[in-house]
Amino acid sequence: MASSQMSRDEALECTCCRHACHVLLYSETASQLFGRIPIRYIVLMQMRFDGLLGFPGGFVNPLEETLEEGLTRELLEELGVAVPVSKEDHVESCFSPPRSGTYSSSSRLILHFYVKKMEEEQIREIEKAAASTAADHGLEVLGMVRVPLYTTKSGGGLSCFLSHSFIGVARSQLMNSLLRLHLVSPGDLQEALRGSQRTHAESAQNLQAALKLTGEQP
């Protein structure tokens, strides 16, 4: 089921719904991989406690705080840094598609997505704090990761990253943001997705072989 888009104000009118806010933090960078591959942008995601990739953030209660106040609170817990987020950073709100079955009207989850551009030094400080002072480090958050926007000669980089498992609509949020912000070209993203499909096929074969080693028959 496709997620249902709505405005921020429309989302807040749904008082019987749960709300969660997440943010993509990014910056420009002049760094080069191996001194020759331009990285161009630093885009942050995180490895969650369940082994899935997602964006920093979490549940908020609009009856007690604004969406942005709740998101800033969640970021302090997960990143160890108070990152101020404003209404201007809001990109979209939508219903989260249910994983299985259907949600009752009292348990529907609305996802609010934000994008915030920062300076490279600020991003580096966030990475340091997330691994040293964040309350959720090693618990709800296993670590921050950068999204590789480049493609190596062997096909590594963005295509391999996109082949990982993401929570909910996080993969779509990432890809839409990369295109909207012109961080990658449509052609490069399409090529990365094709490479990701090949990686998935190879992974399925490897997992099948691993099952045979454990004695389980197909």
Residues 139-169 have pLDDT tens digits of: 999 999 999 999 988 888 999 999 999 999 9
Please check whether residue 9 is in contact with residue 101, taking contact to mean a CB–CB distance below 8 angstroms: no
pLDDT over threshold 70, residue 120: yes
Give the whole-angstrom CA distance, residue 24 versus residue 216. Answer: 41
For 91, the 3-state DSSP assignment is strand
pLDDT of the residue at 88: 96
Q: Choose among 163, 162, 160: nearest CA to 152.
A: 160
* pLDDT of amino acid 121: 97
Residues 2-28 have pLDDT tens digits of 447 899 989 998 888 999 999 999 999
Both structure tokens of 77: 């817990």
Q: Which pLDDT value is given to residue 196? A: 87
Residue 105 has pLDDT above 50, yes or no: no
Interatomic CA distance for residues 50 and 38, integer angstroms = 32
Q: What is the pLDDT of residues 29-46, one digit of tens each?
A: 999 999 999 999 999 999
Token couple for 139: 């618990």
Residue of higher predicted confidence among 135 and 107: 135
**Does pLDDT of 202 surpass 90?**
no
User: What average pLDDT does range 191-218 have in this prediction?
Assistant: 79
Interatomic CA distance for residues 84 and 69, integer angstroms? 8
Which residues contact residue 108 at a Cβ distance below 8 angstroms, ignoring those fewer than 6 apart?
A: 14, 16, 17, 18, 95, 96
- Domain segments of the chain: what residues? 5-150
| pLDDT more than 70, % of the chain | 93
Q: CA 11, 92, 184: angle at the middle one, nearest 5?
A: 170
The better pLDDT of the pair 208, 57 is held by: 57
CATH of region 5-150: 3.90.79.10
Mean of pLDDT values over 166-181: 96
What's the confidence (pLDDT) of residue 98? 72
Q: What is the mean pLDDT of residues 172-192?
A: 96
Binned at pLDDT 50, 70 and 90, residue 203 comes out as: confident
Per-residue pLDDT, 213: 82
What is the pLDDT of the chain when averaged over all its residues?
A: 90
